[in-house]
Structure 1
Amino acid sequence: MDFHLVPRGTDRNYTGFLTKTIVYSATLVIFLASFGLTLASIVIPKWVSYHSEKPANHYSYGLHRRCSSLTDTCESFPQREDCHGEGRYFCSMWRSVGFLMSFAVVVQAISIVTYLVILSGGKRLRENGWWFLSLMVGLSAIVQAAGMSIVAYLFDNEDRFFVGWKLDQSWVFCLISWCFSLFCAGAVIVAGKVLPSEGGYELIPEHDELDVT
């Protein structure tokens, strides 16, 4: 018996403008921006900074570097001497933030691969892949929010950050990044649960064959 591909009936088929494919594609663009902001927050050493006019000095802490205008250089941070005595707690917490942000990058990379697999795959992946994708994207947001919160806690409670210090550019990048990720996770969940099944095709017999039977 010969078969042809024809659109499914309207009771099982959705051809509206807002489809899962569109939601996946749109949130992927936003998530790529989130990924870029995460990388920038790690690379740019400006999580916490201090600036004074007289004398003109500028200091900043990154996750892995510490910079000073007095020497016009950046050095590795935290170093071994920073992790002894009273500085041990701060050192441990700061390194934890570095680990969390690196882990967030790994999770985001997995999320991007998942996006691409779903978009390049068939209808089955688009219908069922939302739960794993939203899990990975949401996890990356939680990890970044945890790292950002630790830095904010240290900023409020560490004596080294006296009046004049401020949470700077990289901290803001991290904040925006996990907010973007959280939005993407929510949008994917809503699309997966609310949007109807996309239009597909099914095999039906040719009319000639039906007439014979």
Structure 2
Amino acid sequence: MDFHLVPRGEDRNYTGFLTKTIVYSASLTVFLAAFGLSIASIAVPNWVSYHSEHDSYHYSYGLHRRCSSLTDTCESFPRREDCVGEDRYFCSMWRSVGFLMSFAVVLEGMAVVAYMIILSGGKQLRESGWKVLSTLILLSAAIQAASMSIVAYLFDNEDRFFVGWRLDESWIYCTVSWCISAACAGALILAAHSLPSEGGYELIPDNF
């Protein structure tokens, strides 16, 4: 029995195109939310904070600023004088978190561009683009997870954070962001391995 290669039907091509487009579009929408949370975690100076209900005092550390309710202002952090003596270790680790989060946002921005290219491209991009895209997303998620873990470690081990201090909204933004990003990458990988191809050729038997 011989086999011949013949193009698949147009309905299959359209179904495959529509399904993959929906997956990319839906995951992009969710990923944009994660992207926004990452930016917010950098912009909002509230990774670790102290609240005093007695006198309504509030003090918080952001990646690049620290704020106090006493002066109702924020100042750059860490500064040169914050990185001397025993504080050098904390300063180095804190600056590392700031760098890592900025790098993660750059990777997320590249992922958004990759989404746009894939969605506006042809079949080949939709079929194979998930590899580069999911790699960018997973790498950004891993970097954010590392940043979150470093801050949590400092919170648990630094003497400056005593009773009354807590991990606050920016830390939560980062945590939610990398979890969403990881879920988006997982959805892309699962879809790539489970959804049918958009078209191409299939074998049919030749009985003659």
Q: What SS class does the counterpart of residue 59 from structure 1 fall into?
A: strand
Deviates more, 1:7-16 or 1:115-124: 7-16
TM-score (norm 2): 0.89
* 2:25 corresponding residue in structure 1: 25
- Structure 1 residues 113, 100: closer, same or farther in 2, change over 3 A? same
- Gaps (5+ residues) in structure 1? 1-6, 202-213
- How many residue pairs align between the two structures? 195
2:143 aligned with 1:134:
no
Change (3 A) 1:16 1:114: closer
Spell out the pairing of 1:123-202 with structure 2 (5 A cutoff): 123-199=123-199
AA aligned to 1:96 is S
**What are the residue-to-residue correspondences of 1:45-84 with 2, within 5 Å?**
45-84=45-84
Q: Is the 8 A contact 2:16 2:199 kept in 1?
A: no
What percent identity do the matched residue pairs reach?
Answer: 74
Between the aligned partners of 1:139 and 1:20, the Cα distance in structure 2 is 23
Aligned residues of 1:108 and 1:136 also touching (Cα < 8 A): yes
The two structures have a TM-score, normalised by structure 1, of 0.87
Deviation at 1:121, TM superposition (A): 0.1
Displacement of 1:142 in angstroms is 0.3
Give, as a single letter, the amino acid of the residue that structure 1 aligns with 2:83. C
Deviation at 1:56, TM superposition (A): 2.5
Equivalent residues of 2:49, 2:168 under 8 A apart: yes
Structure 2 segments unaligned to the other structure (5+ residues) = 1-6, 202-208
Shift of the alpha carbon at 1:9? 3.0
Structure-2 change in CA distance of 1:35 and 1:11 (3 Å): closer
Q: Would the aligned equivalents of 2:66 and 2:74 in 1 still touch at CA under 8 Å?
A: yes
Deviations 1:91-112 (A, max 9, x none): 0000000000000010000000
Aligned to 1:92: 92
Q: 1:70 to 1:151 in 2, by over 3 A?
A: same
* Contact 1:13–1:196, Cα closer than 8 Å, also in 2: no
The alignment partner of 1:129 has SS state of: helix
Distance across 2 between alignment mates of 1:123 and 1:18: 11
Q: Deviations over 1:1-51 (max 9, x none)?
A: xxxxxx733897572697111110000000100000000000000000000
| CA distance 1:166–1:90, shift in 2 (3 Å) | same
1:90 offset after TM fit, Å?
0.2
Contact 1:50/1:59 (<8 A) preserved: yes
Segment drifting more, 51-60 vs 65-74: 51-60
Q: CA RMSD in A?
A: 2.0
Measured in 1, the distance between the counterparts of 2:101 and 2:53 equals 32
